[in-house]
Structures are given as C-alpha cells and as structure tokens.
Amino acid sequence: MERQVAVASESSGQVQYVGFWIRVLATLIDTALVSVALWPLGHLLLRTVHLPAPDWDPNGPGFLDLNQLQLQFSASDWLLQITLPAVVIILFWMARQATPGKMLFGARIVDASSGSPLRFGQACVRYFGYYISTLFMCMGFIWVGFDPRKQGWHDKLANTVVVRYRRVL
C-alpha cells in the first residue's frame, strides 16, 4: 500500500528526485558545518602535535625529510575523521531524514521502495556506501547525474532515494 502511495505521488508530480548539483551543494554545506563543529574538539585533542620545521633537516632549510615524520592514524584521528561525522550524519538522517545541507534545499532521504523514512540499518549502509561511491574517481557519486531516479551507488546499496515534495495548490 505504501509503495502505491509513493508511486502515485511520483506520477502526479508531487515528488521530485533531487539531482546531482543540488546534492553537491548540500554536501559542501554539510562538510563545512561538520568541519566548523569539530574544529574546536580537534584543536583540543591535537594541540600537542608539532610537526618538525623544515630547517631541522640536515640537508638545509627548505627541505623536509619525510622519513623524519612518523605519520600515525591515532585514536583521536579515528574519532574526528570517521566516528563522529558518521554518528552526526546518521543521527540527522534518522531524526530529520536529511542533513542541514539537504534540509536547506527541502530534500529528504527516504526508502526507495515505500517512500517511508529510512531505517537505522539503511542509514548505516548508506553512510558506509559513501566510501564505495568514492572508488573509481568518485563514480558512485557522479552516477547520480545519469541515473533515472538520481541514485548514487550508496543509495542503491541502501535502497534509498533523495526527494523533494512539491506543494500541490
């Protein structure tokens, strides 16, 4: 029954799939907001990190020997770059069916079959599907521009679509 309602809304023009460029703008807005929100926490966690100055190198100033740097992916990096963004974004999807960037454009993420709000498992699959969508030169995101329902690979994996509802006068 719900699928029939979603199909009827699509055919009547009340539902519009959100395309590539609006989703790009929404993602840029979300990235900026998450970065600004996490910057203070990152500053607190990483304030003791000091990279060696280029003039420390015995080969002279202006030359940075990368062998001197010990790059590590620490627990705080994992927290700031993977865990917290995932939690925040999935919570927005569950509570509002969208992130702030998508909300700005009136877009919502819904189940592709029924049009109902996505479930927690779908949200997790969709988020981690972003990593798959980045493979092969971000082709999974670019796919949105060519797909009839404007689904990226992450949407197809999670069986979701991004839609806007038009007001009917």
Average pLDDT, 10 consecutive residues per value, the chain (169 residues): 45 83 96 86 62 52 51 67 89 96 97 96 96 93 96 97 81
Strands 15-17 and 160-165: antiparallel
Q: Are 137 and 144 in contact (CB under 8 A)?
A: no
The residue range of the domain holding 45 is: 2-165
Q: Are strands 160-165 and 107-111 parallel, antiparallel or unpaired?
A: antiparallel
Tally of residues, the chain: 169
CA 69 to chain centre: 30
The pLDDT score that the predictor gives to residue 78 is: 75
Domain count, the chain: 1
Rounded to whole angstroms, the Cα distance separating 93 from 108 reads 8
Q: Provide the 3-class DSSP secondary structure of residue 44.
A: helix
What's the pLDDT at 46?
64
The answer to whether the beta carbons of residues 46 and 75 sit under 8 Å apart is no
Collapsing DSSP to helix, strand or coil, 34 comes out as: helix
How far, in Å, CA of 38 to CA of 35, rounded? 5
